[in-house]
Structure 1
């Protein structure tokens, strides 16, 4: 299967630059994955498509304010670090701009010296391994000095950083938000519970690789980035019980979907535990756990549109995307939503 098979023409003005005032007011395209039938509604009506005995699985990761703007010690030259992955307590793999300023041994300061950093190694793809030095609590300093790492296609400034977090975000560690969850409000989650639908929390720390384009012609040759996930015992037991009792498991976002399918590779049941996953889901994949998916609209030729095409049929998904463009749905992180039922 070719990467170009997942291309569609997306007008730039449909890329949402800001979140809506109310999270659940976004539009919702509902796609029947068997028939291809489509309905158009609003996200607050997601309740109409959930049944007692179902469970929805959300990713409770929290985005780090991972962009740090500082200067080189001695010269004052401006530098930008983007935290990608924690290696040890105070050691991080980072993306640096401009990279030529960040040679091994170089030192940098942030916030008038509140935080200091030294380049101790160079990793693959030119990423820098950074050792931080500071007094106090690193996460508190990061909240004070860091900026939200918005995706490259969002060019406007975000006024409220919490709008790039889900209302249930809890475990810090992501470089990007699990954006399908941005549509939920506390009130909507409570209504879902009242309907007898269980809400299950798992964690997958989203890496910047989620934005990495597919550069190979044949999608089977693409290698996914690895991301760290955690599934607790209560979550695993609830999901397995839902499947056993005939309920649907509804993943909120591609991150939740990939986590569930990774944890069920060996037994077709969810096991508690943690680890790294680099699962690549594309058409032909046989789902073991996920029955339905709540997701945003994704980039053309991305691994994300390939994943949603695996849950339905590629032609149905591409037709749904054409319809979304025609109906002027908003795309990507702050855009509208799709429910593949």
Structure 2
């Protein structure tokens, strides 16, 4: 059956999620969360420590190693009132997150501003130990502001400034204040590349113990980086998906990962989390682009929202991955920085991924569409089972292993 994802009605992806089923705090131990196994239509209840035994033989697990930055900043006006600024993505002098984080002295970011109406004019200030951060509005754009930050000591990087005076941005649906515990628990144990404003939450269940068990079972692991944006929480307001604009996110792919994926073809590739899945499938479509245009300029390494559904005669996975390697060699680089708006919805054909480790997602979300793309209408059975059996939902909730 051919499904046109543009015509999907978001009201078909609704289920009743009572507020008390949203996990407001993490489990005492990361790997003691529940794990719901969906395997070829069958459901079984497990604990997350069982994961290494449940994965198909010779699985390559792919993790997103992005690190959540303390992107919420509370500034004080001259009158004493507070203005909250939430950093979304860098604009100048670098749009690339990795470079923007290393910027010293000043930078401009796209931001959300709370209490903006009370911020009449001029800069607002935030004092931190040994320094001062100032913010000025440069422009207002649709739904956000361009904010120019300057700081002293100027030799500090923006990453260091955020580390000293920012606050961790918890998901809005937790609806509670930050606790000291969140600083460690809202990061994966392998978080490495600073730049996300939300955690890749499927990875929050992994512990050193589980990693060692994976190794003992002969499972291989690999890493990529997708900096999760605030758009991950953006509800679908449109009646049909054609009218919903997907948020763009930055991904970083290394040459060794592409080589490893080529070796893995024909054996299971299972992403940990929807961000890893979107990155891996985007990787294929980037390869398809350079397969058709070997001299594509680096700034055109983008995957648009509907590219996957409009592409005629796309290459095989092997051809796409090989084209990427050839492209990287021609560019003389060992890593690629690209941007993706890919929407994975029913009607999508998976090119790289064979399963998924993921949490339970909000009703009417693009993440739920992605789950449905993988396991079809069975998503209803999975979610009904989770609700009937006291699974915890959303970022700090329980996990599932989906093997179609």
- Which of 331, 341, 345 is equivalent to 1:278? 341
Which residue in 2 is equivalent to 1:248?
268
Which residue in 1 is equivalent to 2:206?
184
Q: 2 CA distance for matches of 1:40 and 1:3?
A: 29
- Structure that is richer in helix per residue: 2
Q: 1 CA distance for matches of 2:277 and 2:166?
A: 29
- Which of 71, 96, 119 is equivalent to 2:113? 96
- Which of 79, 85, 91 is equivalent to 1:87? 91
Q: 2 CA distance for matches of 1:61 and 1:77?
A: 34
Q: 2 CA distance for matches of 1:217 and 1:169?
A: 36
- Which of 292, 296, 304 is equivalent to 2:355? 292
- Which of 199, 205, 216 is equivalent to 2:221? 199
Confirm or deny that 1:339 pairs with 2:401: yes
Confirm or deny that 1:323 pairs with 2:385: yes
Contact 1:93 1:130 in 2 (8 A): no
Confirm or deny that 1:238 pairs with 2:238: no
Which residue in 1 is equivalent to 2:37?
30
Contact 1:109 1:117 in 2 (8 A): yes
Q: 2 CA distance for matches of 1:44 and 1:102?
A: 50
Q: 1 CA distance for matches of 2:384 and 2:35?
A: 15
Q: Which SS does the other structure have where 1:86 is aligned?
A: strand
Contact 1:201 1:235 in 2 (8 A): yes
Q: Which SS does the other structure have where 1:4 is aligned?
A: helix
Confirm or deny that 1:77 pairs with 2:81: yes
Which residue in 2 is equivalent to 1:159?
180
Q: TM-score, normalised by structure 2?
A: 0.80
What is the CA-CA distance between 1:92 and the residue it aligns to?
1.2
Q: 2 CA distance for matches of 1:154 and 1:96?
A: 20
Contact 2:111 2:144 in 1 (8 A): no
Which residue in 1 is equivalent to 2:284?
264
Q: Which SS does the other structure have where 1:224 is aligned?
A: coil
What is the CA-CA distance between 1:102 and the residue it aligns to?
4.5
- Which of 63, 67, 73 is equivalent to 2:72? 67
What is the CA-CA distance between 1:158 and the residue it aligns to?
2.7
Cα shift readout 1:174-231 (whole Å, capped 9, x = no counterpart)? 0100000000012211221222211110000000000000011112321100000001
